[in-house]
Structure 1
């Protein structure tokens, strides 16, 4: 029987360009958000002023690129099962942040979160404290320091305990946190459990941690879940392996994980949003 597999090639086909403005400077970070899922996603960002108002759509294989200043701190996640009308009003099965395509608040649980605090030394993580809806990874590119990949590339929807499962049309579309379901101090790390000494992993957080060892599984899961990097760009990838090779473009160069950058192939770029065509090859 023939063996078939898929390879994600470096992003050398960047075709649809909508750009204006000045060249990126070192006070900005480039965020490349990629949908590797087999389903359409509606990524959400809060605060979203640097991310197309905090909401947009990505079909399978599509990407969007944004820039944010080093002072930015916020969250990025995916909304699933959304239906928006031509005016941008609608609802989502998971991750809703209001009733519009552009986010007006934090995401409704359950949602897998990528969290960032940008400064001279960036802090970033992937958190499942608010539950899980799609696999997500955060990969720094061309930075200095630890710069490890954070994320959860396992699909917890298929292994979610039934008491935590969120279903739509008979299908599990999300996995809630134990805190969200049971509202107990032990699971929510509050009251007498409101410090690292007393709030310990539970049966449910251990299940999340086993599936996603570099993600927050409960509030005080810091040692193996929070990462730092300096002067980096980020690729936020939905439904990809944390080891998958990804690329980001800035300063007229294509930078890929596992490489030291590539020479310019498209000339000067400004600040804006681009859609990236990713070529899939099977053999």
Structure 2
């Protein structure tokens, strides 16, 4: 098992089905096109009232979250129902054949936001992970600053255009070819060095690669490889959370900059420039 995922699951507590919601997650779509969020509960964790739905541009949906919940949330893109009646997505598909994922996770590459609520010392642990690759910009932050680091985290920019050729997932549409996702080096090459597997399965033997550093450079607070914990896991307590798909980089930094979250790394690398993209997700491109 991916050591990062194992650590994430170990933080989760036992199932608390039937307990009143302890928090809410507000999911907001600022992309120019509809996305389909997917939600997956971790082992021994209460299930959510939904595991997938459509979210139109500019719309939000608030999900009640059980106490002690752990799991993942991501955005599926370029989705449609085929002639066979099956619902599929070009990126981050969960393979259920339906809008609801029903307990299935995202097929890489996918940007993931991961949570464990009420973990060690009563803190919520959360991160935005690019360990399984990238398909959408995402931002996660607590709605109020309480006990813990309470930092905003995520990847605010569109990496699909700048993705290295050997990692890029491309799609044809309306007479053009465009990048729609960016694979991790582990998925692209299957090399244990990039997967932190086999003889490279410890923090001492698995180091950042040139490919994981591509993600880390652009999105300093996001997980870039399995042992990126020190700069990528955030904590807070007794609060609700907002998750934004395709956040506006400048606007997000300005708003969040008024809050003192104590994070040592910036949300984005300031040497990047942002231009409106023409990518299918309608987010932003990064140009250096």
Scaled by the length of structure 2, the TM-score of the pair is 0.73
Question: Structure 2 unaligned runs (5+)?
Answer: 1-18, 261-288
- Residue 98 of structure 2 corresponds to 100
Question: Is the CA contact 1:143–1:233 (under 8 Å) kept in the aligned structure 2?
Answer: no
| Cross-structure match for 1:142 | 144
Aligned equivalent of 1:195: 202
Q: Deviations over 1:27-78 (max 9, x none)?
A: 61110000011121000001294242x1001111010001111211000000
Q: Quote how far apart the aligned CAs of 1:243 are.
A: 2.5
Tell me whether 1:42 sits opposite 2:36 in the alignment: yes
Counterpart secondary structure, 1:223: helix
* Residue of structure 1 equivalent to 2:70: 73
CA distance in 2, matches of 1:157, 1:168: 11
Q: Which is greater in Rg?
A: 1
1:244–1:70 Cα change, 3 Å: farther
| Structure showing greater relative contact order (alpha-carbon pairs closer than 8 Å, 6 or more residues apart) | 1
Q: How many residues align?
A: 224
The within-5 A match list for 1:155-234 is 155-169=158-172, 170-234=177-241
Equivalents in 2 of 1:101, 1:203: separation in Å?
A: 36
Local SS of the residue matching 1:91: strand
Aligned residue number for residue 79 of structure 2: 82
Q: CA deviation at 1:89?
A: 3.3
In structure 2, relative to structure 1, the CA distance for the partners of 1:163 and 1:59 (3 Å cut) is same
Q: Is the 8 A contact 1:143 1:231 kept in 2?
A: no
RMSD of equivalent CA atoms: 2.3
The equivalent residue for 1:249 is none
> Is the Cα contact below 8 Å between 2:82 and 2:88 reproduced in 1?
no
Q: Residues 163 and 182 of structure 2 are in contact (CA less than 8 Å); yes or no, is this contact kept in structure 1?
A: yes
- Provide the rounded CA distance (Å) in 2 between the counterparts of 1:51 and 1:114: 18
TM-score of the superposed pair, with normalisation by structure 1: 0.75
CA contact (8 A) 1:186 1:193 kept: yes
Q: Match of 2:238, SS? A: coil
Q: Distance in 1 between matches of 2:244 and 2:82?
A: 26
